[in-house]
């Protein structure tokens, strides 16, 4: 499943394809992808006609195209969503094309002319719909920061871990008030958005904290460090184009990410810990796998 670095990689690619373009028309091949659209397919087709793309932005795993009138076309990649240029003809991927945005002729401002974007999604957990921009003062923004300007549809999740105005100490204070395990708080996106299973496990391994510890049992400095490590590891991953564990995640050019070989614990069950040489373990908690080294990350009692 794409996490923050993968979605950001796709956003950067989408920016080169779509910024400055005007949408001539949309085509919807799988109405299920519009299940969050008010008014269904007809409303989507109407709202996207002559939509001028002045910004391509991201908040957590939500991507969106934004118009000058503060309308957005929100795109959530789900498990297997891909955005690919209209020019590209990859017959395997085309079987799963669900939504197409065709650009108006003559609005291309990029060097390599492109005539549209295909939303390809094999498993159809992804979604797209329109949503207006709202302003939001989140409790984790730095003092004096301007409000977030995000689609209403993405307002239920916390400030993005890469947002320059995110105050890590304020976020850590809120996280410590939670009754959940630290891993669940990171995954549920409510206080800080962007962590998925891979980078939550990696940030915890780098901070030497077991994911099943209660968030409230951690020191403020430890939680701040988890957030800092998460940001750092995701930045590194971004430099590598993200992490691909299967053929489902690729960037807009169909390229796989190659960060997987740098991971400390995720996907390494039974392999040697890179710090102490003992075996990496994995357990299931709340339906998600948690990878850790028992020696480097002391488990809570009973685990």
Residues whose CB is less than 8 angstroms from the CB of residue 261 and which lie 6 or more positions away in sequence, other chains included? none
C-alpha pair distances (Å), 204 with each of 4, 67, 126, 174, 227:
16, 39, 28, 18, 9
Spatial separation of the C-alpha atoms in residues 77 and 79, rounded to whole Å: 6
Strand partners, 160: 193
User: Minimum distance between the CB of residue 297 and Zn ion, rounded to whole angstroms?
Assistant: 8
Q: What angle, 0 to 180 degrees and rounded to 10, lies between the N-to-C axes of helices 197-207 and 220-239?
A: 120
* Residue 117 or 280 having the CB closest to Zn ion: 280
Spatial separation of the C-alpha atoms in residues 206 and 215, rounded to whole Å: 17
Interface ranges with Zn ion (CB under 5 A): 273, 275-276, 293, 295-296
User: Minimum distance between the CB of residue 295 and Zn ion, rounded to whole angstroms?
Assistant: 4
* Residue 214 or 294 having the CB closest to Zn ion: 294
* Residue 156 or 278 having the CB closest to Zn ion: 278
* Residue 50 or 271 having the CB closest to Zn ion: 271
* Residues that are catalytic: 2-3, 61, 288
Instruction: Please answer whether residues 210 and 298 qualify as being in contact, where contact means their C-beta atoms are separated by less than 8 angstroms.
Output: yes
């Amino acid at each position: 499943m794409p996490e923050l670095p993968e979605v950001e990689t796709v956003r950067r690619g989408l920016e080169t394809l779509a910024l400055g373009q005007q949408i001539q028309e949309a085509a919807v091949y799988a109405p299920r992808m519009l299940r969050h659209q008010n008014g269904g397919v007809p409303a989507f087709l109407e709202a996207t006609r002559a939509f001028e793309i002045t910004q391509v932005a991201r908040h957590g795993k939500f991507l969106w195209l934004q118009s000058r009138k503060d309308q957005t076309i929100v795109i959530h990649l789900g498990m297997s969503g891909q955005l690919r240029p209209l020019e590209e003809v990859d017959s395997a991927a085309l079987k799963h094309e669900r939504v197409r945005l065709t650009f108006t002729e003559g609005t291309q401002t990029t060097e390599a002319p492109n005539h549209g974007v295909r939303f390809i999604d094999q498993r159809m957990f992804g979604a797209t719909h329109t949503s207006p921009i709202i302003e939001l003062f989140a409790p984790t923004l730095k003092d004096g920061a301007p409000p977030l300007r995000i689609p209403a549809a993405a307002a239920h999740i916390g400030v993005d871990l890469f947002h320059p105005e995110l105050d890590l100490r304020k976020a850590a204070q809120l996280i410590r008030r939670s009754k959940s395990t630290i891993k669940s708080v990171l995954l549920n996106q409510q206080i800080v958005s962007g962590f998925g299973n891979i980078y939550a496990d990696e940030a915890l391994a780098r901070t030497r904290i077991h994911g099943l510890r209660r968030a409230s049992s951690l020191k403020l400095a430890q939680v701040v460090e988890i957030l800092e490590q998460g940001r750092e590891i995701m930045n590194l991953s971004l430099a590598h184009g993200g992490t691909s564990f299967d053929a489902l995640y690729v960037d807009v050019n169909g390229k796989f990410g190659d960060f997987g070989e740098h991971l400390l614990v995720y996907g390494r069950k039974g392999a040697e810990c890179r710090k102490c040489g003992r075996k990496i373990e994995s357990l299931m908690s709340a339906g998600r796998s948690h990878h850790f080294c028992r020696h480097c990350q002391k488990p809570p009692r009973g685990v």
